[in-house]
A = this chain, B = another copy of it.
Amino acid sequence: MTERVVLAYSGGLDTSVAIGWIAEETGAEVVAVAIDCGQGGEDLDTVRQRALECGAAEAVVADAKEEFASEYCIPAIQANALYMDRYPLVSALSRPLIVKHLADAARYHNATMVAHGCTGKGNDQVRFEAGLAALHPELKVVAPVRDSGLTRDKAIAFAEEKGLPIDVSKKSPYSIDQNLFGRAVETGFLEDIWNAPVEDVYAYSADPSEPRQPDELVVTFTAGVPTAIDGRELSPLQVIDEMNRRAGAQGVGRIDMVEDRLVGIKSREVYEAPGAMALIAAHQELENVTVERDLARFKRGVDQRWGELVYDGLWFSPLKSALDGFVTDANRHVTGDIRVVLHGGRAVVTGRRSEASLYDYELATYDTGDTYDQTMARGFIDVWSMPAKIASLRDQKQA
């Protein structure tokens, strides 16, 4: 029986050409797998048809938007996941989802190989291959762009030679990866890190500096999961979609940064993630209200490590799994409403209310009704400052 290779298929030039290229290179039949994570563009049937026309033995398409929202984006919100305190892991979150579908398809179609179109200097190759090593370690990886010279020029030549149904003439100056949690843009002039992005770079967000009316809404969270907007119960996918739309319309969620890639270099990245940034801001403030101090302090370190692991392609790893347990437990009481004003590129929390609140008006107020026993403070301070005080006395004696 002919060997089979499962290809992560996007519908674009590179992976369309890869179908024939891999078939020639390996002698195997290609099963093209296209996953809709909310990247928009063509409908899945068109994509499927093109794969077949380009020579795929099978073409599998899947609408994974709900799965992506629920199983990947929501945990990121619960972990306030911001790589380097800024980037909400947009692409990094979608890779393990795609990997899972590739591994499933490989099992279903008895494939022995898996192929992707990543280059050799990005993070995504690691995320694909590390994920596959965990989920289906027997698969051999084929990476024609990185390992067998499938450059853009060769892809165009190949497409023309074989008469593939792809328009090779249109050339965007931008390299884009997008899904329902956000959008990443790279392009030549931004590789000079002194250059500012231009408005043309953005697609998910309006210009924040344009005057417009603010938009105010109330997000409801249940155990750290956003479950309603303005009282309307919504699925995770619906919440993210609506927040993208409304926060994007106010210019929220643009990020421009120099980033530490897993492969050892720094790169310039421009992102848009209106919904993600607004939801994380709301979630963080609800944590401030409902999570106890020591837990909150420790969780910052857990959140950071969670984000690094996902960025570093280790979604399917024992540490990620153990951190998930921590994050879920810490979100147990993160239930309540957060009022957010979206305006001028900012998502500003202006109110919070929660049955699980640890904010206690009677303890906090300076008005009458105060129940805090202030006489306790002296003793606290005395003991609290003792270790530093003893050390200070020692230092003075030594000096």
Q: Which residues of A contact B (CB under 8 A)?
A: 84-85, 119-121, 125-126, 129-130, 133-135, 137, 143, 146-147, 175, 186, 188, 191-197, 208-209, 211, 214, 254, 256-260, 263-268, 284-285, 288-289, 291-301, 304-305, 308-309, 313-314, 316-319, 321-323, 325-326, 328-330, 333, 339, 341, 343-346, 348-353, 355-361, 363-367, 370, 372-395, 398
In angstroms, Cα B294 to Cα A253, docked, is 27
Number of copies: 4
Q: What's the minimum C-beta distance from A217 to chain B, rounded to whole angstroms?
A: 13
Q: Is the CB of A294 within 8 A of B387?
A: yes
Query: Bound state CA distance, A118 and B175, in angstroms?
Result: 41
Contact B391–A208 (Cβ < 8 Å): no
Assuming the contacts A194-B353, A260-B293, A351-B194, asked whether A358 and B133 have C-beta atoms less than 8 A apart, the reply is: no
| A–B complex contacts, Cβ < 8 Å, 9 sampled | A133-B389, A197-B350, A260-B387, A263-B386, A265-B363, A265-B390, A292-B319, A378-B379, A380-B380
For A376, the chain B residues whose CB sits under 8 A away are 120, 378-379, 382-383
CB distance from A367 to the nearest CB of B (A): 6
Q: Which of A130, A260, A378 has the most CB of B within 10 A?
A: A378
Q: Which of B296, B323, B382 contacts A326 (CB 8 A)?
A: B323
Chain B residues within 8 Å of A341, by CB: 196
State which of B175, B309, B329, B356 has its C-beta within 8 Å of the C-beta of A394.
B356
Cα-based distance from A307 to B14 in the complex (angstroms): 44
Contact B191 A384 (CB under 8 A): no
Do A361 and B192 form a contact, CB below 8 Å, given A266-B289, A379-B375? yes
B316-A364 in contact (CB<8A):
no
In the bound complex, CA of A136 to CA of B314 (Å):
32
